[in-house]
Amino acid sequence: MIKKGTKIAKPKGKLGILIPGVGAVATTFIAGVEAIKNNYARPFGSLTQMGTIRLGKRTEKRTPLIKDFVPLASLSDLVFGGWDINNETCYETAVRSGVLEQQLLNRVRPQLERIRPWKAVFSQEYVKRLEGTHLKKGKNKYELALQVIEDIKNFKSENNLDRLVMIWCGSTEVYLQPSEVHSSLKKFEKGLKKDDPQITSSMIYAYAALSLGIPYANGAPNLSVDFPAMVELAQRKHAPICGKDFKTGQTLMKTIIAPGLKSRLIGLSGWFSTNILGNRDGEVLDEPQSLKTKEESKLSVLDQILQPQLYPELYKDYHHQVRINYYPPRGDNKEGWDNIDIFGWLGYPMQIKVNFLCRDSILAAPLCLDLVLFLDLAQRTRMYGIQEWLSFYFKSPQCAPQLYPEHDLFIQLMKLKNTLRYLRGEDLITHLGLEYYD
Ligand SMILES: NC(=O)c1ccc[n+]([C@@H]2O[C@H](COP(=O)([O-])OP(=O)(O)OC[C@H]3O[C@@H](n4cnc5c(N)ncnc54)[C@H](O)[C@@H]3O)[C@@H](O)[C@H]2O)c1
């Protein structure tokens, strides 16, 4: 275990951000960073840019900004590169995605036009609704991984980068469960050479990154680094990993509301969630196998938070249903409805209705920024393998196999902040507070 107050290497030089899947989320992230750097807009939603952290006793009044408390890379040191199956610049994709206004995009156009994704590793077998034109060709999956490694090395030397981080912002791949080929690094590498169908495109990018010791975050719900072979590779190459599936929109609301209901011992008889969305992500999720990957991720959160095994009378038999509907007119502006059937004192029923008109990529972009900065911090701190303290950002947080994932947003935030306090040698906050009354 890393020591309290351990030495953290300074973020010297440039940090390269590698993004497989330069679509709506990635371009909103990149355009946003460029806009913020130039003071055209503010980084709302980003803990690393705007969050503070309380240190010591409440009477000490020490609450620095997180970015002043831990040594994070600065936005002016970030350099972006990525892969996509479409051969269009980041600017063209941002315009097509329709998330940001043209006026803002015009102001960062030169920076976005400079980024043209490299050819992708892609097979329609894993994302059925997409067809690619800008693709790598190789004898087998191992050769494709070597080509990705080559892209990364070129990007690093051409831009004189000091460090790198990879974040998957690609489409959601079909549902897969870990199998034999995922069980060890040796079997996985053999599988790459034999073109094993259980090895998806996202795994090939992750393998390339981890082989070079580059940290990896998975923003989508598909299997990518959450199996033994990748954990082994991450440990061996000293790379931090985390995932999966950015916690935005409806699931974010769920993990805010459910801990509140449970803390007041309010029972739940049903939670029905439905969504309409019309962006490319929605189109991909309109296909049953990609949809299953997403639904699994969305369904898992309530049981862990409500602990029906400890509170059977309150939470044993609730109905939880999640629907995602592709509805093109809505574009990136998703709408989610939740009907929550609850019961209180003496069993009297009540209902909560939530109608969240959100903007998917606007909610996801600050998470991308925080994740790349924190993963880079983790690596400079010599924290390798699964980074459970970053659960705060994910719908299905990756954790050690003997643990259950923590879904409660407030516990996740406390875990994240206590990790930062620990790294800097500060006391952990317990919220006991009896000493103020002695
Ligand atoms: N926006 C959110 O709130 C949110 C939340 C959680 C998860 N996600 C996930 O983030 C991902 C990105 O979302 P988005 O809205 O930007 O979708 P998008 O469709 O706009 O972008 C995804 C991009 O990935 C590309 N792609 C697909 N497979 C690829 C491959 N093998 N190599 C390179 N590029 C590939 C596509 O061409 C597309 O440009 C999706 O998987 C989505 O489910 C988004």
Give domain status of residue 204, yes or no. yes
282 ligand 1 Cβ < 6 A? no
Q: Is the domain of 386 the same as that of 287?
A: no
Give domain status of residue 302, yes or no. yes
297 pLDDT more than 80: no
Distances (CA, A) of 355 to 119, 259, 318, 349, 358: 40, 19, 21, 20, 9
Task: Give the pLDDT mean for 128-156.
Answer: 96
Atom of ligand 1 nearest to the CA of 28: 16
Distances (CA, A) of 422 to 7, 58, 246, 383, 416: 11, 18, 25, 13, 10
Give domain status of residue 433, yes or no. no
379 ligand 1 Cβ < 6 A? no
Euclidean distance between the first and the last CA atom of the chain, given in angstroms as a whole number:
35
Sign of CA dihedral 289, 293, 294, 300: positive
Give domain status of residue 4, yes or no. no
Give domain status of residue 146, yes or no. yes
35 pLDDT more than 90: yes
Atom 5 of ligand 1: nearest residue by CA position = 246
Count of other CB atoms within 10 angstroms of residue 113: 12
173 ligand 1 Cβ < 6 A? no
Q: Is the domain of 253 the same as that of 388?
A: no
Atom 2 of ligand 1: nearest residue by CA position = 360
Q: Residue 315 Cα, ligand 1 centroid: separation in angstroms?
A: 34
pLDDT of 65-113, one tens digit each? 999 999 999 999 999 999 999 999 999 999 999 999 999 999 999 999 9
295 pLDDT more than 90: no
Task: Give the pLDDT mean for 311-319.
Answer: 95
pLDDT of 199-217, one tens digit each? 999 999 999 999 999 999 9
pLDDT at 262: 97
Where do we find the tokens 């299997």? 223
Please state, in angstroms and rounded to a whole number, the distance separating the CA atoms of residues 427 and 425. Answer: 7
Quote the domain boundaries for residue 384: 14-246+361-423
336 ligand 1 Cβ < 6 A? no
Higher-pLDDT residue of 284, 160:
160
Q: Is the domain of 396 the same as that of 257?
A: no
DSSP symbol at 135: B
pLDDT at 240: 98
Q: Is the domain of 236 the same as that of 272?
A: no
pLDDT of 335-371, one tens digit each? 999 999 999 999 999 999 999 999 999 999 999 999 9
Q: Is the domain of 228 the same as that of 124?
A: yes
Number of H helices, E strands in the chain: 16, 11
331 ligand 1 Cβ < 6 A? no
Q: Is the domain of 26 the same as that of 102?
A: yes
Q: Is the domain of 224 the same as that of 259?
A: no
Q: What residues contact residue 413 under an 8 Å CB cut-off, 6+ apart? A: 392
CATH number at residue 276: 3.30.360.10
pLDDT of 144-175, one tens digit each? 999 999 999 999 999 999 999 999 999 999 99
Q: Is the domain of 306 the same as that of 375?
A: no
pLDDT of 182-200, one tens digit each? 999 999 999 999 999 999 9
Count of other CB atoms within 10 angstroms of residue 321: 12
Of the chain, the percentage scoring pLDDT greater than 90 comes to: 90
User: What token pair was written down for 214?
Assistant: 């580059």
394 pLDDT more than 80: yes
Report the mean per-residue pLDDT for the chain. Answer: 96
Please state, in angstroms and rounded to a whole number, the distance separating the CA atoms of residues 357 and 402. Answer: 37
Task: Give the pLDDT mean for 262-283.
Answer: 93
Count of other CB atoms within 10 angstroms of residue 202: 27
